[in-house]
Structure 1
Amino acid sequence: MSRFFAVPLLLSAIAASTQAIAAPASLAPLLHSIEERLAIADQVALSKWDSHKAVEDRPREQTVIASAVGLAPQYQLDDALVRQFFAAQIEANKLRQYALLSRWTLAGAAPDSPRPDLVGSIRPQLDVLQKRLLQQLAAFADSRADPQCPQWLAAATHKAADDELQRLALIRATAELCAKP
């Protein structure tokens, strides 16, 4: 008789755990914009390949973070959260750039694709994305403290990208998105 009740209880527990993992609607657009920002890393890497500039650019990184922190009050976001979030975006972007540059060095050449201007084309795209990311981070902010947040991110990042490098960069970009208890 106990087996008769055990199976429905097990199925109920599985269903409850599946429901518990459902992420808020605000997560998908945020992840999409993070992925969009990571895709721009390919263009930045091509620019750095051609110019032989270093991936690491601390003054530029500090400018990007300071700009985002300066906008934080408009989105009712904490400065520390914005600083941490954009530092993670930059680190993920650099991870992708380093890996691509290594891949191209091994191959002896970078892809033969159009090279947008870093200052005139790529940075304005990043500026537009910055505001969208702030808006989406604000929409997701209340969900950061949910105990299911790490599971939402793990599920989303593991199915989001077909490219392993993109997946790793996305994991890095979202590594500190959930609030610590």
Structure 2
Amino acid sequence: MFHCLRLPPLLSGVLFGLLAGTAHAAASPAPDALQPLLATINERLSFADQVALTKWDSGKPIQDTAREAQVIANARKQAAQQKLDPEQAADLIAAQIEANKLVQYGLLAIWQAAHKAPDVPRPDLNQIRPKLDALQARLLQQYADFTPYRVDPECPNWLAEQRASLIKDALHGQALIRATGELCVTDQ
């Protein structure tokens, strides 16, 4: 017959405290490279609202396969300059594009339900694209700086903690989660 070992409450508390303290002590702080990377990802994501407005006004579809392919191809070319694997760079940028489209689809659905978009100044898509292209170079450099930390077991915790402070609403929060979903490499 199996008997469960019972420890006195004081000893149980001490053991629990030691184990909890060890786990807490083992947790390392987020690397300095994470915050700038998240800030740039969030900055890139903020352009989704402006792009959505241009798509609303023009009636053009959100999906722009040719432009997406061009942006991803540029990321592959820029990867060598940052000593990044071209496919990892392409995957990162593809995630940014998907996150931006998530916001655009969400905003268009909200505006369609309301039968109007916000009454704010409308940017020209041709003015937005060079800004996104410029952000890409910075994003890839920051990703290269963060790459050594992607495999750290604490990476998901760092990411969740620092990402939470950037979320402004549910739609943009989901998009930010999508944009950063593969920053950490974990053995699930």
Q: TM-score, with normalisation over the residues of structure 2? A: 0.88
Unaligned runs of 5+ in 2: 1-9
Q: Aligned ranges for residues 128-167 of structure 1 at < 5 Å?
A: 128-167=134-173
Which of 103, 115, 118 lines up with 2:110 in the alignment?
A: 103
> Aligned-pair RMSD on alpha carbons?
1.7
Identity %: 51
* Residue in 2 that maps onto 1:50: 57
Q: In the alignment, is residue 63 of structure 1 matched against residue 70 of structure 2?
A: yes
Considering fraction of residues, name the structure with more helix. Answer: 1
Which residues of structure 1 form unaligned runs of 5+? none
SS in 2 for 1:160: coil
SS in 2 for 1:39: helix
Q: Note the C-alpha offset of 1:62.
A: 0.2
Q: Is 2:15 the counterpart of 1:9? A: no
Moved more, 128-137 or 144-153: 144-153
Q: Equivalent residue for 2:38?
A: 31
Bigger-Rg structure (1/2): 2
Deviations 1:14-50 (A, max 9, x none): 5325x33x21110100000000011000000000000
Match of 1:125 in 2: 131
Q: Count matched residues.
A: 178
TM-fit CA distance, 1:13: 3.3
Task: Give the match's secondary structure for 1:37.
Answer: helix
> 2-side partners of 1:148 and 1:79: how far apart?
25
Q: Structure 1 length as normaliser, TM-score?
A: 0.91
